[in-house]
Amino acid sequence: MTSGGNSLTAAVLLIIMMKVFSVLTQSCPSTMYQAQGLCCQKCPAGNRVKTDCTETAHTSCVACEDGTHMDKPSGLKQCTHCTICDLSFGLKENRTCTSTLDTVCKPEDGFYCVDVAAGSCMAAHKHRQCQPGEYISQTGTAFRDTECSDCSNGTFSDGTLKFCRPHRPCESLNLKLIRPGNATTDAQCEEQDQDNVVPIIIGCLLTILVIGIVIVIVIYVKRKTLCPKRGENNREQ
C-alpha cells in the first residue's frame, strides 16, 4: 500500500515537474500557446482568445470582429485590422478582407505596382504619359509602366497613339508643301480647291432643300383641290 501510494506521488510529482519544465523551456506543442504557466489550446484561424484556459477549462475563443482578421491559429487576444487599399497610393481592392484572410490590394486603372508584399500591392505609381513625338511602344499594365519610343523619320504623333502617323505626302498629292512635318506635327499642304468646295456643297444642299419644299407644297395643294371636304363628309356618316 505504501509503495503504491509512493509511486502515485512519484507520478504526480513527475507530471508537475514536466509541466514546470515545459513552461520553463517554453515547449508547448505548436497547436498550443503558453498562458499563466499552462499550455492552452490555440484558437482557430478567424478567431481570437476570449479567455485563456485554466486547470479546469479549455481556452475560450470568439470570432474576429468585422474589419479584423486572424489568418492562422493563435493564442492572441486581438485580431489584426484589415489592410485598407489607399486610393491616395493608387490602390484599390483585389480581394476583400475576410476573418481568415487580409485584404489584397491592386493598382488602380492607369497605375502600376512598385511595391509588392505577400501578394498584395503596397504602393502604385501612375503610368507615364508619352510625349509628343513619341508613341506608346508598350501599354502599361498593373505590373509594368508604359513604354514610349520616338517616332521614326517621316512620321509624327501627339503621344497618345500606339503608332506614329506618316506625314501627309503633299508632293504626291499634287499639292504645294507649306510646312514640312516634324515628329510632333503633320506636314501642311496648300489646299488649292478647298475654298470653293464648301460653298458648292452648301449650294447643292440648299437647292435640294428648296426643290423638296416645292414638291411637298404642290402635292398638298393638289390633294386639297381634288377632294374638297369629301373626307370629312364620309367620316360623319
CA distance 58 to 51: 9
> Is residue 167 at the binding interface for ligand NAG, with CB under 6 A as the rule?
no
> Is residue 122 at the binding interface for ligand NAG, with CB under 6 A as the rule?
no
Nearest approach, Cβ of residue 169 and ligand NAG (Å): 16
Segment near ligand NAG (CB under 6 A); pick from 18-26, 181-189, 199-207, 212-220: 181-189
Instruction: Report which of 35, 9, 10, 39 is spatially closest to residue 22, judged by C-alpha positions.
Output: 39
Instruction: Report which of 97, 95, 83 is spatially closest to residue 106, judged by C-alpha positions.
Output: 95
Segment near ligand NAG (CB under 6 A); pick from 44-52, 163-171, 175-183, 229-237: 175-183
Q: Which residues, 6+ apart, have CB-to-CB distance to 147 below 8 Å?
A: 136, 137, 138, 140
Can you tell me which of 41, 80, 146, 184 binds ligand NAG, judged by CB under 6 A? 184
Nearest approach, Cβ of residue 53 and ligand NAG (Å): 37
How far lies 56's CA from each of 99, 126, 144, in Å? 29, 59, 58
Cα 110–chain centre separation: 9
> Is residue 98 at the binding interface for ligand NAG, with CB under 6 A as the rule?
no
Nearer to ligand NAG, 179 or 222 (CB): 179
Which residue has cell 519610343?
149
How far lies 197's CA from each of 80, 191, 194, 201, 203, in Å? 73, 11, 5, 6, 10
Q: Where are the beta strands (DSSP E) in 26-65?
A: 32-35, 38-41, 47-51, 60-63
What 3-state class would DSSP assign to 105? strand
Can you tell me which of 48, 69, 106, 127 binds ligand NAG, judged by CB under 6 A? 106
Segment near ligand NAG (CB under 6 A); pick from 42-50, 182-190, 215-223, 224-232: 182-190
What 3-state class would DSSP assign to 43? strand
Segment near ligand NAG (CB under 6 A); pick from 71-79, 180-188, 211-219, 224-232: 180-188
- Is residue 47 within 8 A of residue 65, CB to CB? The reply is no
Nearest approach, Cβ of residue 12 and ligand NAG (Å): 54
Site string for ligand NAG, 18-57 (x = CB under 6 A): ----------------------------------------
Nearest approach, Cβ of residue 152 and ligand NAG (Å): 6
Nearer to ligand NAG, 47 or 157 (CB): 157
Phi and psi, residue 52, nearest 5°: -65, 160
**Nine-digit cell string for 121:** 500591392
Segment near ligand NAG (CB under 6 A); pick from 34-42, 57-65, 177-185, 197-205: 177-185
Which residues of this protein are in contact with ligand NAG, per CB under 6 A? Answer: 94, 106, 142, 152-153, 179, 182-185
